[in-house]
Amino acid sequence: MKDCRPYYIKKAWYRFLDFYVDRYLEPRLSLLGKNPFIVKPWHIEIFGSPIRIGNNITLLGCSDKKTRLTVWSEKKGIDGIHIEDHVLISPGVRISAANSISIGESSMLASHVYITDSDWHGIYDRSMPPRENSRVVLEKNVWIGDSAIVCKGVTIGENSIVGAGSVVTSDIPENVIAAGNPARVVRRLDPGREIITRKDRFGDTEKMNRELATCEKGFLEGNTTWGWIRSLVFPKKN
């Protein structure tokens, strides 16, 4: 669908997004790093503490796919949720921590991924959470596919990929592709091939922002305020 907004309207929209993040989202976090790219932040739900997010995060919300970061524990001094730099979190992702969940630099979580470090109820005493603490660690540049589940006590090694719909119940080594329920290694990555990470591609945020602004000005050139209003009231097919 063509974007009919004049460039100044789109810039105003970006300023509104920044205001919303500063006013309503960031105060709920223990840390939000520099240069966050957050889309539809009103569809991102933050509960509990501590939740720390690094620099250059891409965090996406959607009306039918709420993104939820939750820490739920009566214990003090837990690690909570720690998301490092350059991580991509897609709409519908749920991260639920009772103790410690760590997402490594440049990792990518596809839509509807669920990561949890707890069963949330004891096996025999189901009225209370389990007493033992677990943790989840995603090392650098991990890619979790659509609707996959990562369970308590799991470490996923650097550069590894978890296939869509998989259920990870035990550790996955580095540089592999794992899939299935329970997830098992199905292939090893080619050690001779270079892996380009999100940090490699998007690390120079100032340059990227300048290029994005130039592209948007070009795409929106010729758009007028009246044309934009008309497109809202009388949208054309296609």
Instruction: List pLDDT tens digits, range 122-152.
Output: 888 888 888 788 999 999 999 999 999 999 9
Task: Convert the pLDDT of each residue in 63-97 to its tens digit.
Answer: 999 999 999 998 889 999 999 999 999 999 999 99
Structure-token pair, residue 213: 């602004």
Does 146 reside within a domain? yes
Q: Where residue 93 sits, what CATH number does that domain have?
A: 2.160.10.10
Task: Convert the pLDDT of each residue in 145-191 to its tens digit.
Answer: 999 999 999 999 999 999 999 999 999 999 999 999 999 999 999 99
Percent of the chain with pLDDT over 70: 99
Q: Which residues neighbour 168 within 8 Å (Cβ) at sequence distance 6 or greater?
A: 148, 149, 150, 151, 154, 156, 162, 178, 182, 183
Does 80 reside within a domain? yes
Q: Which residues neighbour 147 within 8 Å (Cβ) at sequence distance 6 or greater?
A: 110, 111, 112, 113, 164, 165
Does 238 reside within a domain? no
pTM, rounded to two decimals: 0.91
Domain that holds residue 16: 7-233
pLDDT band at residue 109 using 50, 70 and 90 as cut-offs:
very high
Does 150 reside within a domain? yes
Structure-token pair, residue 30: 């223990």
Does 74 reside within a domain? yes
Does 2 reside within a domain? no
If you average pLDDT over residues 195-219, what whole number do you get?
87
Does 1 reside within a domain? no
The C-alpha atoms of residue 108 and residue 143 are separated, in whole angstroms, by 5
Q: Could you give the number of structural domains in the chain?
A: 1
pLDDT value of position 1: 67
Does 50 reside within a domain? yes
Half-sphere CA count of 195, side-chain side, radius 13 A = 19
Structure-token pair, residue 96: 């639920």
